[in-house]
Amino acid sequence: FVSVKMAAAQIKSFLIYNTTFGTREENEHEKLLYFYPDDMEMGKKMNLVGMSEALGNFTRAFSPQQSIEVLHTQKARRVFLNPEPDFYMSMSIFLPTRITKSDGKKATEYIDSAVLDKAVKEVLQQAYVMYKLLQGTMASTLKAQNREGLMQVMKAFYDQYIPTLDIANLNLIDSMIGLQFLPLEKTNYLRIQCFINQTEAYFPEIITSVFLHNQHLVWSGLDQADMRTVYRYLLGVLSSAQSDVTSNDFLFGPEDLSDPDSPISAPRLHVTLAGQPSPLPMIAYQCSGTTCCFFIHPDSLLDLDFYRRLQDYIQPKLTALDVRVAQKAAMRASLAATVSQDYPYDYVYFNHMNLAQKSTFLPLNRRKPTADSDDRRLASLCRSEEVQLMGDVQADFDTQPGSQREAEVLAKTHRDTWVVGRRSEQREYFLQLTNKPNANLIEINDEIRRLSQTHFGNIFLLD
């Protein structure tokens, strides 16, 4: 009798340290600013800090401009990041395992190929940029609050952030942090832009705005890099607030406009304006499927009167816009459903230039599963042979010289599913065809051409 048990990847450790602290042996522990999990003894924590520092120093001897990024071991994967001068971050994850028992003997296999370097590196990068969005740079916090204050801020943030990471289901999508855009015809887009311009002119306190519909970006006045981080932050807020917010209400703002003592929540997000980081209060108002965010001048008085005037002004306009956009979105979704019946492809698309992202089968805005049934369903999808192969193809693209211009790979899995990866300039897409087990390369190429014409007809892809 042979039994097989699978264990998913999980976080082993997460640490942040600063090399300007603890320069003497007796106070070396002062280098460490944050460590997860906190219940590990200090000696083991400092061993990991010392190893990370030693690896960085060793690799810089060969590449002064670029330190170590990824370390592979038999049982774990460790990634490294130097986000700011003198500040270093490192995260280690246990590799997924396959434990086989036969005739009383147990064998453990560590599945190194199931973890994508690019996805794990992006998780660590996002852990920093999300901290920077909500708290500012680490250096600015250190300057304002000293070392102990910085450690308290990091602990408060990362103790909540790290448990939300879905390490077990990392896949191709996690290496493509992008934006989901909502395609609109010119008339409705101009209506939305006119609404934004009029609102910003009527309320001089507003510096810039963001407009979303059903978690898709329609318009943004933010820098592209800031928008990507703000977008991920908003998706988390919108997902958790769907059952708590009425059809017309502030996501960020006063809890009750009729109560003069109502608490007001307007988080200060650190975004870039005119090349300078600026902590700006953000107000978010939700009207059915539409969410409008306003970034306010930091010196503005945000009292209940301001929020009442803002709601009275934007609510009727947003209601009308929401109806128009929802009608067009429903028509587009119906057409897409009809097309997908004729062309049953599953694909993932990413544009590195404008960060546009699409997927027909992998969830783009997933959160860590809370129910066992959701976890099993997501795991079977994200850890499938086809999705892992797509990740391998993307990694192959990144290692090939000149791969940023044009590359293509076609492969067939053991389950007779065709997997295709194509990169053209800064655009790439990956698809799987499950209904063509006996097709040859010529027929698969014809299917790829049909897909490109159907779904990417207005996008330039080298053929």
Query: Amino acid identity, residue 105?
Result: K
Q: What is the pLDDT of residues 388-426, one digit of tens each?
A: 889 999 988 888 766 557 888 898 888 888 899 988 888
Residues in the chain: 463
Residue 246 has pLDDT above 60, yes or no: no
Per-residue pLDDT at 249: 87
pTM across the whole model? 0.89
Residue 244 has pLDDT above 70, yes or no: no
Beta strands in 288-367 (DSSP E): 290-296, 346-351, 357-359
Residue 375 backbone phi and psi in degrees, to 5: -65, -45
Residue 276 has pLDDT above 90, yes or no: no
Query: How many Cβ atoms sit within 10 Å of the Cβ of residue 107?
Result: 9
Residue 430 has pLDDT above 80, yes or no: yes
Q: What is the pLDDT of residues 299-342, one digit of tens each?
A: 998 899 999 999 999 999 999 999 999 998 888 877 766 666 66
* Under 8 Å between Cβ of 237 and 251: yes
Per-residue pLDDT at 50: 93
Mean pLDDT, residues 43-67: 89
Instruction: Return d(Cα 418, Cα 437) in angstroms, integer.
Output: 7
Instruction: Give just the sign of the alpha carbon dihedral 57, 61, 65, 70.
Output: negative
Q: At what angle do helices 304-342 and 186-202 cross, to 10 degrees?
A: 170
Q: For a pLDDT cut of 90, what percent of the chain falls above it?
A: 49
DSSP 24: S
Instruction: Return d(Cα 137, Cα 391) in angstroms, integer.
Output: 32
**Whole-angstrom distance between the N-terminal and C-terminal Cα of the chain?**
52
DSSP 179: B
Q: What is the pLDDT of residues 61-76, one digit of tens each?
A: 888 888 899 999 999 9
- Residue 461's alpha-carbon distances to 297, 351, 423, 455, in angstroms, are 42, 11, 8, 12
* Under 8 Å between Cβ of 209 and 295: yes
* Under 8 Å between Cβ of 35 and 18: no
Q: What is the pLDDT of residues 277-292, one digit of tens each?
A: 899 999 999 998 999 9
Residue 134: pLDDT band with limits 50, 70, 90: very high
Mean pLDDT for all residues in the chain: 87
> Which residue bears the tokens 């699978």?
6
For 239, the token pair is: 């997902």
